[in-house]
Amino acid sequence: MEDNDLKLEDIFGSSHFSNDADGINLIAIIGAGVMGQGLAQTIAGSGMEVIIVEKDNEHLNNAKQELSDSLDRDIKRWSVTESEKKAILSRINWKKNIESVIKCDIIIEAVSEDFNLKKELFQKLDGLVKENTIFVSNTSTLSLTKIAETISRPDKMIGMHFLHPVPKIPLVELVKCLHTSNGTVKIAKNFATKIGKTSVEVYEYPGFVTTRAIVPLLNEAMYILLEGVATAEHIDTAMKLGYNFKNGPLEMADMMGLDEVLAWMETLWKTLGEPRYRACPILRKLVRERKLGKKTGEGFYKYDKNGKIIKL
């Protein structure tokens, strides 16, 4: 799930990359937005080589700088050392051409929550990579079965729904579509363990577990704000102190990206038709104004250059 509007025609290039990887050693990520960066940091931090593909130098350079800045903030918090940062960055290979991933063992898409984009991406990859390469989608709401049925290896398609921020959240949902083989599930579970994540197995259903459960909470908090019951800060404080949440729902939505949250709500509303998934008007307004949360510096809160809430 990403915010960079990656287009297939922009990332399909012509360069060739070769690497003789054995087992689960070489991983590719398509999309270098917030989620892609988090995945790259997590995987590289576990000792594996990562190729991350973006559509042009501008997006690649921006992503490199954003990841470096994020690691610098972690260093200031004593959660990462300078040497660990260097090791992580040394294992990440930044590429513009999708042919760079042909020798990868696992390919993870982290592009926008758009069914046609994801479908076309996997169809393109299907004709490029090794027969035993596992395809992973990070979708939170879309049908993996429908995507899998458009490629020649539906048994090797699986969902791995990571939560933001990826390096800090120890959970991943393993999403089995109708065609996912037991062998693919086993490989995905081993991979999750290798990168330090606890996996929970879920069957394909709109929203799976985490998105389906959290979206109504976010939406209701937005309606409480819209109706003037309390300020954003007080809504979040009430939920943090009252229910021991680390982050309040509005701050959480800002961290996730309001455009992504809206996309989840629209998909769940369309597929399940239940009012609790009908997006609050205040969310639509913020997204129209491109106030998408922490990544743009403003959403329900305003943020400084370090991503901290500016107290008004």
Residue given tokens 């680390």 in the structure block: 246
Res 10: pLDDT: 47
The Cα-based distances of 261 to 30, 218, 293 in angstroms read 20, 9, 10
Tens-of-pLDDT digits for all 312 residues of the chain?
444 444 444 444 433 333 333 368 899 999 999 899 999 999 999 999 999 999 889 999 999 999 999 999 999 989 999 999 999 999 999 999 999 999 999 999 999 888 999 999 999 999 999 999 999 999 888 889 999 999 999 999 999 999 988 999 999 999 999 999 999 999 999 999 999 999 999 988 888 899 999 999 999 999 999 999 999 999 999 999 999 999 999 999 999 999 999 999 999 999 999 999 999 999 999 999 999 999 999 999 999 988 889 987
In 227-296, at which residue ranges do the beta strands (DSSP E only) sit? Answer: none
Is 0.85 topped by the overall pTM?
no
CB atoms within 10 A of CB 213: 10
Residue given tokens 């260093």 in the structure block: 75
Report the C-alpha gap between 190 and 28 in whole angstroms: 17
In the DSSP assignment, the letter for residue 215 is: H
> Do residues 286 and 280 lie in contact, with contact meaning Cβ atoms separated by under 8 Å?
no
Of 246, 264, 55, which is closest to residue 168 (Cα–Cα)?
Answer: 246
User: What is the strand order of the sheet 134-137 is part of?
Assistant: 92-95, 49-53, 26-30, 106-109, 134-137, 157-162, 171-176, 198-203
CA dihedral 199, 23, 140, 308 (to 10 degrees): 80
Report the C-alpha gap between 190 and 155 in whole angstroms: 17
> Do residues 200 and 51 lie in contact, with contact meaning Cβ atoms separated by under 8 Å?
no
Where do the domains of the chain lie, and which CATH numbers do they carry?
8-203 (3.40.50.720), 213-296 (1.10.1040.10)
